Chains A and B, each alone.
Chain A
Amino acid sequence: MDVSAILEAGLKANDAASHALTLVSNNLGHLSVADFASDCCGSNNYPTPQQ
């Protein structure tokens, strides 16, 4: 089994998924990587999606 090839494929897939999330987020306008990364739930103060 070529482990390094699998690792490289995984890295590229992660990169593509991250890029796709950014594109979707930009289009939706309310879900962003920054939203996901922030500690928005610590105070139970969830961002409200746009209608």
Chain B
Amino acid sequence: MVEIFAPKQALEAASAMRCGHLRRLALVLPTTPPAQEGDVEGWTLIDCNGHSGVSKATEVLRRVGEQDVDWIIVRTDQLYQPTEATVLIQLRDRSLFLSPVEFILNDKYGYPLVIWTAAGLVTLPPESPFKDIGLQLVQHLQDCSLLGASWLERDHQALRTPEHRGKARNRQLRFLRSSVANAYRDAPTSPLAFPLLDRITGIEASQVDESSR
């Protein structure tokens, strides 16, 4: 059995870099139980909204712009919602959406990226090619699955796929159509209802066109 570089080791190694020559860095770590993770004190955490002690990506980017934060842990595996994961990566056999945060931190703000993989840490210097960042993040997510039950975000990763988003989009449009129909059920010939329903039909048609390209 191949030994996996533990996320805790990754955090320790990255924390040692803080004491070295690096002034700032962004560390990409998988989400594991806190007991397996180590001490994150002194790091600013980016993950999905709603967790205590962490910040939304936009909030951290605002602070980065004000030069208020140097050491960042990005939970890439938690950034899968359509509002957070907006960069479509097309691989040979599949496509998936990634968060742009790592790209922005590296390219615009000059943060070296230190990315956990099962084989060890991968360091990308500031202004690395987007292709390299994308490929390493995909590798990171693939390697997360090697953590087994310790990887707490496994079940959410399907939300990155265009297929899942397409189904969710259709569901939302059906819900919206139903809501409009319900809202005007006592006045079905209302001139206000038709433009709304036409607009929904237009959106549905545009989605069909897009998916057939």
Residues of A within 8 A of B (CB): 2-5, 7-8, 10-12, 14-15, 17-18, 30-31, 35-37, 39-41, 46-49
The residues in B between 71 and 86 inclusive whose CB is less than 8 angstroms from any CB of A are 82-84, 86
Distance, CA A11 to CA B172, complexed state (A): 21
Distance, CA A36 to CA B7, complexed state (A): 35
For A49, the chain B residues whose CB sits under 8 A away are 179, 182-183
Q: Are B171 and A39 in contact (CB under 8 A)?
A: yes
Q: Are A14 and B56 in contact (CB under 8 A)?
A: no
Give the size of the chain B interface in residues (CB under 8 angstroms): 25
Q: Are A35 and B175 in contact (CB under 8 A)?
A: yes
Q: Are A10 and B100 in contact (CB under 8 A)?
A: yes
Q: Are A11 and B175 in contact (CB under 8 A)?
A: no
Interface residue from A11, A35, A46 paired with B58 (Cβ < 8 Å):
A11
For B175, the chain A residues whose CB sits under 8 A away are 35-36, 40-41, 46-47
Q: If A3-B130, A11-B61, A41-B174 touch, does A48 touch B107 (CB 8 Å cutoff)?
A: no
A37-B168, A39-B171 given. 18 additional CB < 8 A pairs?
A: A3-B130, A4-B107, A5-B108, A8-B104, A10-B86, A10-B100, A11-B58, A11-B61, A12-B61, A14-B82, A15-B56, A15-B83, A17-B83, A18-B83, A35-B175, A36-B175, A47-B179, A49-B179
Q: If A46-B178, A48-B182 touch, does A4 touch B103 (CB 8 Å cutoff)?
A: yes
Q: Are B83 and A7 in contact (CB under 8 A)?
A: no
Q: Are B174 and A11 in contact (CB under 8 A)?
A: no
With an 8 A cutoff between CB atoms, is B101 at the interface?
A: yes
- Who on chain A is nearest to B186 by CB? A51
Distance, CA A3 to CA B104, complexed state (A): 9
With an 8 A cutoff between CB atoms, is B137 at the interface?
A: no
Distance, CA A11 to CA B101, complexed state (A): 8
